[in-house]
Structure 1
Amino acid sequence: MREIAAGLAAWDRAGARYALATVVSVSGSAPRAPGSAMAVAEDGAALGSVSGGCVEGAVYELCREVLTTGVAVRESFGYSDDSALAAGLPCGGTIEVFVQPQPPRHVVEAVAGSAPVAVAHLLEGSGATIAVGPGDVRGTAGSARIDAVVAGEARAMLDSGASGIRSLRCHPGTDVFIASYAAPPRLLVFGATDHAQAVASIGKYLGCRVTVCDARAVFATTARFPDVDEVVAAWPHRYLASTATDARTLVVVLTHDPKFDVPLLEVALRLPVAYVGAMGSRRTHDERLDRLREAGLTDRELARLHSPIGLDLGARTPEETAVAIAAEVVALRRGGTGLPLRHTTGPLHHDTRTSPVTT
């Protein structure tokens, strides 16, 4: 929903009526993750997607129906269902969609912001929508008891970045879908090189908050990196030791210069970040490992280093190298093998029921 929240806020400001469809569960080879959303306005305009094209037409008509009746609808589309075949869901998966009248404006505004927020959709009864942040609650289900339970559940899921359907223990038979919208993961790119420009660009495309850092102020400039969130002229290891990181942070080292790499990786490999990759040839990598061992890093810490960086795509240009690096990051985050899909078996999409929502 976050990817269309700005558009929904614009519709609210213009006084437009609309219905909102949200994917609340998926199984098998479904094309979109829980939390994916599509909205249809009274004039027929549409925003977003719930299936990447497979069942858009059917969900569009459901939204039009809800606009007319004002009553929320919960419906599934699966490969074995006649409705799925008619709607065009041949991929073998199942998606469950909740379509509701437009949520309160203050809920949309909360999602449109950049702060972490969990959005709870009651799937029965009123179909109320509640936005829960770390320190506030916007919206109500009409019951203080239900509100308190939903807020507690939503905060727990937001803390872990999880999304999914939960049953309310205080109200048996009532389900709530909670979508967590965490702050974007950080991508820290060290080395203001031409490769850094390409990596930063693809990092933004993947939804990261991107920082480029280099000790050489002449290269670390916003003129060279106009689209990133932050450009820092500082010694890389000092900056990394002082900036905020978490379990989703990605560290990409492109300097391939020992005076920068070794102290930087000494810090990076001891932080609980998601990914640490370093550019360099196999010879450079072996020499770098020797220096890091001399600096006191253990084999377990060194095993976290992805170097030479990226998947084997035969990349040569900075742009191709950036794609190889991004592919390795995506495979790591989503549990992919990095193999061509025609050489694998099983579901095309890995289980995302507890993954952070990024849409």
Structure 2
Amino acid sequence: MLNIADTLHRWCREARPFALATVIDVYGSAPLPIGTSVAVDQDGNAVGSISGGCVEGAVYELCQQVLRDQGAPQRARFGYSDDDAFAVGLTCGGELDVLVQRIDPAAQPHLGAVLAHVVQGRPAAVAQVVAGPPGLVGSALGVLGHGVATHGTLNSGPLDRLVAEEARALLRTGRTARVTVGGNGDGCPEPLTVLVHVHASRPRMLVFGAVDFAAALSQAGRFLGYRVTVCDARPVFATAARFPYADQVVVEWPHRYLERTEVDARTAVCVLTHDDKFDIPLLRLALGLPVGYVGAMGSRRTHQERLRLLREAGVSEEQLAGLRSPIGLDLGARGPEETALSIAAEIIAHANQGTGLPLTRGTGPIHRRPVAVS
């Protein structure tokens, strides 16, 4: 639902009832991920898309029906249909499970509070029950930021706390995902499936080395939605004018900056200096941090020498296995722009557990099934 947060926030402020159709599961190839929503208000206004056009008409009609009936949430599956593919199926061959429910903002003020947080760019999550006891399906709990504050309730304090813990864990990783809770008598005797919609702060890309490759990579990182910092100890090179796409340019020894800055499991660390006096203390620190990606530029000979020096500095073999060096995928890249694309492609593949191989050489679904958390 957070893909249409601006409009939903406005409808909530206007106390305008609407039907919300949300992708709660995906099978095979599908154009949009779980958590994507369409909403329809009582005047027939629609916003959002869940399939890129394949099943929007059928979903729109289901939303209108739910609004008219004012009944319990409805669940529907849309898959490929040989007879009527363009009308009710996905031409890409996948299947979607969709939950459609009526939202009355006056009765659910917590949703508007969470959406306000999202439109202001602050981290927030909405935990939506998508399977379980009928009385709970469609209910939602909001979590603001990474603190303890919650908005709304499911049905009990223990259950609320359990779901909120899962939502906070996903907020820390920046992932929207399904989680399974309960079924063990601990505040929830029956198992629940909860879809946690996450709006997280932008992930960070830390680029060390104020070189031409860093300028191109900062542009690629900005395009991918990263908050990009370029850091170099040399003030003559580390200037905002040389890196217009960076959100921040820092003049400091790289390892000292990394020691004091905030990182998380989504942070990408890209070391482009290939200068031992910068690289070794920086990589020694980076490989021990809970970041998502650490890559270093240099030839294969440089890489072997770098490994030797890192071992001498006390870096373990397990930590060295996490170093992506030479940095980037083998695209035959030449020059800063192509090299930046190579690095960005590796970061994407690493984050999504992709192979980096051409799709023509694969046989399975193009879009991987989201990993469930339990």
Same fold (TM over 0.5): yes
> Closer, same or farther in 2 for the Cα pair 1:56/1:230, shift >3 Å?
farther
Query: Which residue of structure 1 lines up, in the alignment, with residue 178 of structure 2?
Result: 164
Provide the C-alpha distance between the structure 1 equivalents of 2:337 and 2:355, rounded to a whole number of angstroms. 22
Q: How far apart, in 2, do the equivalents of 1:312 and 1:9 lie?
A: 44
Which amino acid is the alignment partner of residue 159 of structure 1?
A
2:228 is paired with a residue whose SS is: strand
In the alignment, the residues of structure 2 paired with residue 44 and residue 228 of structure 1 have an alpha-carbon distance, to the nearest angstrom, of 43
User: Scaled by the length of structure 2, what TM-score is found?
Assistant: 0.81
Structure 1 residue 296, shift from structure 2 partner: 3.3
Cα deviations across residues 102-146 of structure 1 (Å, max 9, x unaligned)?
A: 4532132233344443312244448333212431121244x4x2x
Is 2:131 the counterpart of 1:130?
A: no
List aligned pairs for 1:122-201, cutoff 5 A: 122-123=129-130, 124-125=134-135, 127-133=138-144, 134-141=147-154, 143=155, 145=156, 148-160=158-170, 161=173, 163-164=177-178, 166=180, 169=183, 170=188, 172=190, 176-201=194-219
Residue identity in the other structure for 1:354: A
Cα deviation code 1:238-291 (max 9, x no counterpart)? 111222222322101122222222221121122232211112222332333333
The whole-number CA distance in structure 2 between the counterparts of 1:250 and 1:303 is 16
2:231 pairs with 1:213: yes
Q: What is the DSSP-based 3-state SS (H/G/I as helix, E as strand, rest coil) of the residue aligned with 2:366?
A: coil
More moved, 313-322 vs 114-123 = 114-123
Pairwise CA distance, 1:188: 1.1
Contact 2:298 2:327 (8 Å CA) reproduced: yes
1:21-170 alignment runs, 5 A limit:
21-41=21-41, 46-71=46-71, 72-79=73-80, 86-102=87-103, 104-123=111-130, 124-125=134-135, 127-133=138-144, 134-141=147-154, 143=155, 145=156, 148-160=158-170, 161=173, 163-164=177-178, 166=180, 169=183, 170=188
Letter in 2 for 1:51: S
- Structure 2 residue 20 is the aligned partner of structure 1 residue 20: yes
Point out the more displaced range, 266-275 or 280-289. Answer: 280-289
* Residue 339, structure 1, aligned to residue 357, structure 2: yes
How far, CA to CA, are the matches of 2:315 and 2:189 in structure 1? Answer: 53
Call closer, same or farther: CA 1:199–1:100 in 2, change over 3 Å. Answer: farther
Partner Cα separation in structure 2 for residue 165 and residue 294 of structure 1: 43
Identical-residue share of aligned pairs (%): 52
Which structure 2 segments of 5+ residues have no match?
106-110
CA distance in 1, matches of 2:244, 2:334: 24
Q: State the alpha-carbon separation in 2 of the partners of residues 174 and 279 from structure 1.
A: 46
CA offset at residue 340 of structure 1? 0.7
Give the aligned partner of residue 259 of structure 1.
277
Alignment of 1:237-276 (within 5 A): 237-276=255-294
Given that 1:237 and 1:260 are in contact with CA atoms closer than 8 Å, whether structure 2 keeps it comes out as yes
Q: Give distance in 2, aligned partners of 1:210 and 1:284.
A: 26
- Which is further off, 218-227 or 236-245? 218-227
Answer whether contact 1:24 1:165 (CA < 8 A) is retained: no
Distance 1:84 1:152 in 2: 41
Deviation at 1:36, TM superposition (A): 1.9
CA–CA separation in structure 1 for the residues paired with 2:337 and 2:69 = 50
RMSD between superposed Cα atoms in Å? 3.0
The answer on whether the counterparts of 1:116 and 1:183 sit within 8 Å (CA) in structure 2 is yes
Is the contact between residue 7 and residue 47 of structure 1 (CA under 8 Å) also seen in structure 2?
Answer: yes
Measured in 2, the distance between the counterparts of 1:173 and 1:88 equals: 30
In the aligned structure 2, how far is the partner of 1:310 from the partner of 1:352? 25
Over residues 14-49 of structure 1, what are the superposed CA-to-partner deviations in whole Å (9 max), with x where a residue is unaligned?
666543322111122233222122334556654433
How far, CA to CA, are the matches of 1:280 and 1:37 in structure 2?
A: 44
Output the CA distance in 2 between the equivalents of 1:167 and 1:266: 38
Count of equivalent residues:
352
Deviations 1:37-72 (Å, cap 9, x if unpaired)? 233455665443322343233323333444444444
Contact 1:120 1:130 in 2 (8 A): yes
Q: Provide the rounded CA distance (Å) in 1 between the counterparts of 2:263 and 2:342.
A: 23
Moved more, 165-174 or 333-342: 165-174
